[in-house]
Homo-oligomer: A and B are copies of this chain.
């Protein structure tokens, strides 16, 4: 890593392991090569372990957003109702995507920094029959963690047929998710966050139940590239170690994901949850001790893979972020349109927390303290 490299401590893309980067530089390889097929097939198998599911993983060239399209066009038919648990920017956007494919969307909005309440979800489900409910597990714009286990339980009680869809783009690999045990039907994610690979892959896990709902569709899928009818045979072929073609996979990105998934499973998925909780607790305590305030109103519903933090009085984005960069730390500005200039975000996912000996988090927190001082912040420093 060049000395000029600044640590990428935003909530994705995140710092990658050297072996992951090396896999990105794999020389030209056919998408049906004898060394590529098992890497793809094993990645599918490893995803099942990461998501604790017997369902169907998908790995497609694209990004997390494409996973919204995949969900909307394959699982929802025009005119069907979908309940969107909306804890920020990504709830708004997922809702727009669903509407594009004809879904009738009801937003269950919470105030900025709050997480969706189980009672409100239960009430909404009692009021109307929903084909699906979506939950942003970690809303990257607010750092709020939703209680997907609790919400899935409420759904199974109030409206057992409603599909439970989790936007896990900013949570898979950093937050506890147990698809089958918790009754989750879809997890949408991407390569560039806590799965520890570069951006370029849309990744999903889909329960057998949801695949059944897909197969029972009455109307055709109104999308070509995102159509599971095209992709299911491809995923099955790679998993059976057979060549197949629909659209060229991002070969190098899949090799890189494969390396990262192997590391994650070898190091232990449970252990990974613990490491992210510990790192987050450390970050949150440091932030609190500096006298700063988190965007999430309670630490119990703050994400473990990132922190969204209000600037203290007198400090602005234009001051703090460049100072952090001068200390070698790349952090992110605000994203939620109502409060964007008022807060910043740091990521603490992947090797930056599972390999603390790299010192990424310490460097980030120390840089934060120093940068705040340089901004003239006296606070609790």
Contact = CB atoms under 8 A, between A and B. Distances in A.
A308 to B, nearest CB: 16
Contact of A8 (B2, B29, B199, B226): B29
Most buried by B among A245, A248, A249: A248
Interface stretch (A12-20, A205-213, A284-292, A310-318): A12-20
Contacts of A26: 21
A69 B225 CA distance: 7
A270 interface: no
A71 to B, nearest CB: 10
Interface stretch (A46-54, A56-64, A273-281): A56-64
A170 to B, nearest CB: 11
A297 interface: no
A304 interface: no
A27 B31 contact: no
A247 interface: yes
A222 B101 contact: yes
A61 B222 contact: no
A65 B28 contact: no
Interface in A92-141: 96-97, 100-101
Given A68-B225, A224-B97, A250-B63, A199 B16 contact: no
23 contacts: A2-B27, A5-B27, A7-B28, A12-B248, A13-B29, A25-B25, A30-B332, A31-B199, A61-B61, A61-B62, A62-B62, A63-B225, A63-B250, A64-B247, A64-B248, A65-B224, A65-B248, A66-B247, A69-B224, A69-B225, A192-B248, A199-B249, A250-B253
A63 B223 contact: no
Given A65-B246, A68-B224, A252 B97 contact: no
Contacts of A192: 248, 251
B13 A190 contact: no
A265 interface: no
A21 B25 contact: yes
A65 B220 CA distance: 19
A200 interface: yes
A97 B7 CA distance: 42
A332 B32 CA distance: 9
A1 interface: yes
Given A69-B224, A225-B69, A248 B199 contact: yes
Most buried by B among A13, A64, A253: A13
A72 interface: yes
A330 B33 contact: yes
A366 interface: no
A251 B15 CA distance: 13
Most buried by B among A8, A69, A220, A224: A224
Interface string A183-225: 0000000101000001110000000000000000000111111
Nearest to A335: B245
A372 interface: no
A148 interface: no
B28 A13 contact: yes
A237 to B, nearest CB: 15
Contacts of A101: 222, 224
